[in-house]
Amino acid sequence: MSLSRLFSPLSFSRRGLCLVGKASQRSASTNDADNNRRVLITGGMGQLGTGMAKIMRNKYGNDNVILSDIKKPTQEILSQGPYLYADVLDIKHLNSIVVNYGIDWVVHFSALLSAVGELNPRKALEVNVDGFHNIVESSSFHKLRLFSPSTIGAFGPDSPKVLCPDLTIMRPRTVYGVSKVHMELLGEYYSQHGLDFRSLRFPGVIGADTEPGGGTTDYAVHIFHSVAKTGHYSCFLKKDTRLPMIYIDDCLRAAVEFMEFPSEALTQRTYNVTAMSFSPEELVEEMKRYYPKMRVDYEPDERKQSIAESWPQVLDDIRARSDWGWKPDYDISRMVKVMIEKIDPNSTL
């Protein structure tokens, strides 16, 4: 089959018509009991999207989970399941996808993260605020369930540093944080008017299979790749900068369990979730069990360091644990072990 045929709009629209046909045989409701829910993931080519698609496709069926982004996918991603170009700044196109593909749930991952957001605040506002306006409007109009993650970056220097709770002072200093507080509040506002909006404040996400997208906690991924290749890493944060973190499997499982939880049993719409907190030097100590000769220099990047210092060091996620049963599987030692197994299988594990 020629490439132009593979990527032609016709092949997408034919697939779309076929899916709509199937969707129309089902009730139009977003019933919790319906295991064949159809999900749209926006910003799916980032750190979290492909892993989320894999988990959801296993649970809900391959064709029921549509990955989308503005980036051209690899052949590998195309071969794994439905993929669409979807710019969250184009509400007409978003609405057409929701209608043509019978979407029930949206997982909204499109965003510019903390460090890249500071390099281009105008663009960050466009994607994170205007993009969310389109998503929330479309989700509300079509009565979808919407999951849109927030972040520790929604907190600021006036928030508690240790055991920072769900409800507290939030005066973020980055455009990313401002856009995420806006997202949380607007989602909660729409939820008073019928939208099933849900958000989790993720800490730094650590995973081996995908590149992090320009956040302040990215060092905790880069260090594994760099040490496996060269035995050395130059860290952009000071060695004692402690931040909350989560291993990607826990992060994605939290999102799926939270999305599946009955709406009426949730006492709030936005929850903290966390799994561990550590500083670069504590991570290095743990990694030295596998790489005793590894070397790390600390060359703090002023911009990233000041972002990190404005965030809480430890999140309190007691409400997520008590309301819908959140519990992480990975602490720092288990996370380090699995990261090294994946990135450097030839190491002396």
Ligand X SMILES: NC(=O)c1ccc[n+]([C@@H]2O[C@H](COP(=O)([O-])OP(=O)(O)OC[C@H]3O[C@@H](n4cnc5c(N)ncnc54)[C@H](O)[C@@H]3O)[C@@H](O)[C@H]2O)c1
How far is residue 189's CA from residue 132's CA, in Å, rounded to a whole number?
13
- Closer to ligand X by Cβ: residue 209 or 341: 209
- Closer to ligand X by Cβ: residue 89 or 256: 89
Find the shortest distance in angstroms from Cβ 348 to ligand X.
29
Provide the token pair at 317.
Answer: 């996620």
List CB contacts of 238: < 8 A, sequence separation 6 or more: 280, 298, 300, 305
Contact yes or no for 230/294 (Cβ under 8 A): no
- Closer to ligand X by Cβ: residue 140 or 272: 272
User: What residues line the site for ligand X (CB under 6 A)?
Assistant: 42-43, 45-49, 69-71, 87-89, 109-111, 113, 127, 131, 149, 151, 202, 204-205, 212-215, 217
Find the shortest distance in angstroms from Cβ 57 to ligand X.
17
Find the shortest distance in angstroms from Cβ 72 to ligand X.
10
- Closer to ligand X by Cβ: residue 111 or 287: 111
Strands 39-42 and 65-69: parallel
Strands 105-108 and 39-42: parallel
Find the shortest distance in angstroms from Cβ 334 to ligand X.
18
One-letter amino acid identity for 329?
D
Of the listed 176, 190, 233, 247, which one is catalytic?
176
**Radius of gyration of the chain from its Cα atoms, rounded to whole angstroms:** 20
How far is residue 93's CA from residue 191's CA, in Å, rounded to a whole number?
23
Strands 232-235 and 295-298: parallel
Contact yes or no for 308/245 (Cβ under 8 A): no
Q: Could you tell me the end-to-end alpha-carbon distance of the chain, in angstroms, rounded to an integer?
A: 45
Q: What is the dihedral of CA 80, 86, 88, 90, to 10 degrees?
A: -170
Find the shortest distance in angstroms from Cβ 61 to ligand X.
23
Find the shortest distance in angstroms from Cβ 216 to ligand X.
9
- Closer to ligand X by Cβ: residue 24 or 120: 120
**Nearest residue to 202 via CA among 253, 245, 259:** 245
Q: How many CB atoms lie within 10 A of CB 131?
A: 25
Q: Is 176 a catalytic residue?
A: yes
For the chain, the farthest-separated pair of C-alpha atoms sits apart, in whole angstroms, at 61
Residues in the chain: 349
- Which residues participate in catalysis according to the annotation? 176
